[in-house]
Amino acid sequence: MDAPELIAVSLARDGRAVLHGLTLTLREARIGIIGRNGAGKSQLLRLIAGLAVPDRGQVRLGGIDPATDRPAAIARIGLLFQNPDHQIIFPTVEEELSFGPREAGLPRAEVALRVRATLARFGREDWLSRHVQTLSQGQRQLLCLMAVLAMEPGTILLDEPFAGLDLATTTRLHAILGALPQRLLHVTHDLGALAGYDRVIWLDEGRVAGDGAPAPVIAAYRAAMAGESGDDRLGL
């Protein structure tokens, strides 16, 4: 698996600095990314996926720039958004699952095989011709995950993928993701979801405030948030 790498990366949006000179190599199999809203977590994932371009610095993925070599990037890295409706672009399941492999230049027969194999993997062969609008929120999130897996990427980026899902669906998706061989980079506010992870990165105002084994980084983050809970600057 190609390890995503950021080298002195800075990014601004609407005149506001979002990330400040980040240098990270993301080799571990399970990496959690935590921090307050606006800390730069989602923008970090977008940079790694090649959906954003840094103002300064470099993002590398196995020797390629994911923002400029899109076919190579989508074959190596997948992104699962918080809201499946921000990710799904086609009206039917077959079209949605076919898009990535087709964009990667696979022959039509190989695309069809991948689509059917992906559906069979989850026991959803009957979804092939189904219209996306008939799927529940949890089913649409599963469809997004299947679309990512159809590309067979080495790394999957998760941006709060369980937000808004019921407990049963969340539990099932947790189990599916936990069993995957791919590297997972998981942005979440659910600190308990990071149990058993190899590494946790705490972002604060676009900088790395903590990076290492989950227990000490999460403990430091909890302590910092507890210390701010009564801060007058929060307006509470």
Which residues are registered as beta bridge partners of 200? 32, 212
The Cα–Cα gap between 137 and 4 comes to 30
Q: What percent of the chain has pLDDT over 70?
A: 96
- pTM comes to 0.89
How confident is the model at residue 58, as a pLDDT? 96
How confident is the model at residue 42, as a pLDDT? 93
How confident is the model at residue 236, as a pLDDT? 40
Overall size of the chain counted in residues: 236
Mean per-residue pLDDT of the chain: 91
- pLDDT confidence of 96, banded at 50, 70, 90? very high
The Cα–Cα gap between 176 and 143 comes to 13
- Residue 4: pLDDT over 70: yes
Are 76 and 155 within 8 A, CB to CB? yes
Tell me which residue has tokens 């993925």.
Answer: 61
Using DSSP, state whether 5 is helix, strand or coil. Answer: strand
**Rounded mean pLDDT, 148-169:** 88
How confident is the model at residue 230, as a pLDDT? 58
**Rounded mean pLDDT, 164-173:** 82
Q: Where are the beta strands (DSSP E) in 49-93?
A: 56-61, 77-80
Dihedral Cα 66, 188, 32, 44, nearest 10 deg: 30
- pLDDT confidence of 234, banded at 50, 70, 90? very low
pLDDT single digits (tens) 195-231: 899 999 999 999 999 999 999 999 999 999 988 765 5
Pull the structure tokens for residue 25.
């190599």
Tell me which residue has tokens 């990366």.
Answer: 9
More confidently predicted of 164 and 57: 57
Q: Which positions ≥6 away from 210 have C-beta within 8 Å?
A: 200, 201, 202, 216, 217, 220, 221
pLDDT single digits (tens) 65-87: 999 998 888 889 999 988 888 88
- Residue 119: pLDDT over 50: yes
pLDDT single digits (tens) 17-54: 999 999 999 999 999 999 999 999 999 999 999 999 99
Of 140, 108, 109, 111, the C-alpha closest to 127 is 140
The Cα–Cα gap between 97 and 92 comes to 9
The top-scoring range by mean pLDDT among 4-8, 71-75, 173-177 is 4-8
Pull the structure tokens for residue 161.
């993928």
